[in-house]
């Protein structure tokens, strides 16, 4: 059965690539159709050119450059963790100073001791009422911040070199 | 590239305390990745940076690599994503013209060395106008004969679709060259 130009052009790439054989009807059409014959010649030229295109390999120091970028990224991440740690330490110190100033009054140490004794006796009771300047709250918050800072530091130090975080858009 | 060796290398990269294992992984794939990016990138000046980006993403993805796919296939996919992201950025249009490209392709001349060079140059320009997935298929398939099944896995499409898209991509190239 005779083939039309449309049918021939549909399978030209497959024939040029060797994925499909050229049958008698295909060949017969090409013999009488210069346009389709030219298309097949072009398809074969494209096939040949693609197959013979040179592969441009990586430059000589490519691996070192990649490793340098990885170290640079890692260093930046560590810098960010360090900044967070220093900020937490700073906030904790400021909060402790604020707590100390707020506790300081004319009765001084005596009152502080009394408050501490009172606090010890109330330690098993419920938390302080809202608005009360309770030493546990005054000191607990900065202490918690300080503990958080230490936890951040511990977490940052124990991470392995490859726990960089993020999937890089590449999970498999 | 041997899959068992690749997996052992990936495991070493995860557990190693230095970069030696990852350097070995780079050495194993750098030429292929660079060549593939070279064919995919629209701007040749960015090829090395993009190839490095591929390995940075491989490095970041190591903890998440489950081994469901082959290492090579995983890397193909990253190359595709990196190049597609780069191509999605705003670009300066470079028209596919015949400036310096000579007359329309004359199939009777294609066996001469000059015509081959000319064809290669025009083919490069035509390739840059293909959709990302077609471009990737053509680049990877003809680079080192990456097989249909690996391409199908990398792009998450059936093998039949890979063949269809590859033929369609080449038809587009032919039509661009015949204009």
Residue B94 has a pLDDT of 52
Question: At residue A163, does pLDDT exceed 70?
Answer: no
Interface test with B, best of A11, A63, A64 (most B CBs within 10 A): A63
Closest residue, chain B, to A170 (C-alpha):
B61
Question: At residue A74, does pLDDT exceed 70?
Answer: yes
Which tokens sit at A36?
Answer: 């389709």
Residue A155 has a pLDDT of 75
Is the same domain home to B142 and B161? Answer: yes
Is the same domain home to B68 and B114? Answer: no
Burial A24-43 (b: 16+ CB within 10 A, else e): eebeebbeebeebebbbbbb
User: In which band, very low, low, confident or very high, does the pLDDT at A130 lie, cut at 50, 70 and 90?
Assistant: low
Interface test with B, best of A71, A77, A162 (most B CBs within 10 A): A162
Q: Does residue B77 belong to the interface with chain A, where contact is any CB pair within 8 Å? A: yes
Contact B35 A51 (CB under 8 A): no
Contact A69 B33 (CB under 8 A): no
Which tokens sit at B130?
Answer: 């293909």
Nearest neighbour of B74 by CB, restricted to A38, A161, A170? A170
Residue A170 has a pLDDT of 46
The per-residue pLDDT for range A82-102, each reduced to its tens digit, is 899 899 889 988 888 777 766
Is the same domain home to B45 and B111? Answer: no
Closest residue, chain B, to A71 (C-alpha):
B19
What percent of chain A is predicted at pLDDT more than 70?
74
Q: B92: Cβ–Cβ under 8 A, 6 or more apart, which residues? A: none
Is the same domain home to B52 and B119? Answer: no
Is the same domain home to B57 and B76? Answer: yes
Q: Does residue A51 belong to the interface with chain B, where contact is any CB pair within 8 Å? A: yes
Provide the number of structural domains found in chain B.
2
Domain spans of chain A, in order of start: 5-52, 64-158
B99 CA to centre of own chain: 26
B154 CA to centre of own chain: 11
Residue A168 has a pLDDT of 39
By residue range, what is the domain housing residue B170?
Answer: 95-179
Question: At residue A13, does pLDDT exceed 50?
Answer: yes
Question: At residue A15, does pLDDT exceed 80?
Answer: yes
Is the same domain home to B36 and B111? Answer: no
Is the same domain home to B73 and B51? Answer: yes
User: In which band, very low, low, confident or very high, does the pLDDT at A162 lie, cut at 50, 70 and 90?
Assistant: very low
Is the same domain home to B76 and B101? Answer: no
> Do the beta carbons of residue A50 and residue B138 sit within 8 Å?
yes
Is the same domain home to B47 and B118? Answer: no
Interface test with B, best of A11, A33, A46 (most B CBs within 10 A): A46
CATH assignment at residue B161:
1.10.10.10
Query: Which residue has better confidence, A162 or A17?
Result: A17
Is the same domain home to B46 and B107? Answer: no
Q: Which of B63, B92, B121 is at the close of a domain? A: B92
Backbone angles phi, psi at A67, to 5 degrees: -65, -35
- Which chain B residues are Cβ-neighbours of A163 within 8 angstroms? 63
The per-residue pLDDT for range B79-137, each reduced to its tens digit, is 999 998 888 877 655 555 544 444 555 555 545 666 777 888 888 889 988 998 899 99
CATH assignment at residue B15:
1.10.1740.10
Is the same domain home to B3 and B79? Answer: yes
Q: What is the ipTM of this complex?
A: 0.75
């Amino acid at each position: 059965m005779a083939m039309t130009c449309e049918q021939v052009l549909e399978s030209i790439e497959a024939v040029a690539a060797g994925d499909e054989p050229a049958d008698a009807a295909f060949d017969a059409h090409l013999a009488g159709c210069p346009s389709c014959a030219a298309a097949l010649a072009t398809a074969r030229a494209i096939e040949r050119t693609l197959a013979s295109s040179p592969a441009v390999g990586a430059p000589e120091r490519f691996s070192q450059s990649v490793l340098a970028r990885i170290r640079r990224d890692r260093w930046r991440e560590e810098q960010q963790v360090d900044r967070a740690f220093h900020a937490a330490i700073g906030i904790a110190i400021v909060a402790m100073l604020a707590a100390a100033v707020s506790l300081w009054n004319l009765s001084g140490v005596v009152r502080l001791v009394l408050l501490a004794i009172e606090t010890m006796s109330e330690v098993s009771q419920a938390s302080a009422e809202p608005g009360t300047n309770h030493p546990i709250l005054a000191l607990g918050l900065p202490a918690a911040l300080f503990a958080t800072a230490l936890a951040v530091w511990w977490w940052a130090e124990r991470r392995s070199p490859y726990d960089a975080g993020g999937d890089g858009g590449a999970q498999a | 590239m041997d899959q068992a060796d690749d997996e052992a290398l990936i495991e070493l990269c995860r557990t190693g305390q230095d970069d030696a294992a990852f350097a070995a992984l780079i050495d194993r794939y750098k030429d292929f990745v660079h060549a593939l990016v070279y064919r995919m990138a629209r701007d040749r000046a960015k090829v090395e940076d993009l190839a490095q980006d591929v390995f940075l993403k491989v490095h970041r993805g190591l903890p998440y690599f489950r081994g469901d796919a082959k290492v090579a296939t995983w890397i193909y996919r990253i190359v595709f994503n990196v190049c597609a992201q780069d191509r999605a950025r705003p670009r300066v249009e470079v028209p596919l013209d015949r400036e310096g490209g000579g007359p329309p392709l004359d199939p009777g001349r294609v066996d001469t060395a000059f015509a081959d060079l000319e064809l290669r140059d025009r083919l490069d320009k035509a390739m840059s106008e293909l959709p990302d997935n077609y471009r990737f298929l053509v680049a990877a398939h003809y680079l080192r004969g990456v097989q249909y099944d690996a391409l199908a896995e990398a792009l998450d499409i059936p093998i039949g679709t890979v063949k269809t898209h590859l033929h369609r991509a080449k038809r587009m190239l032919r039509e661009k060259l015949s204009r």
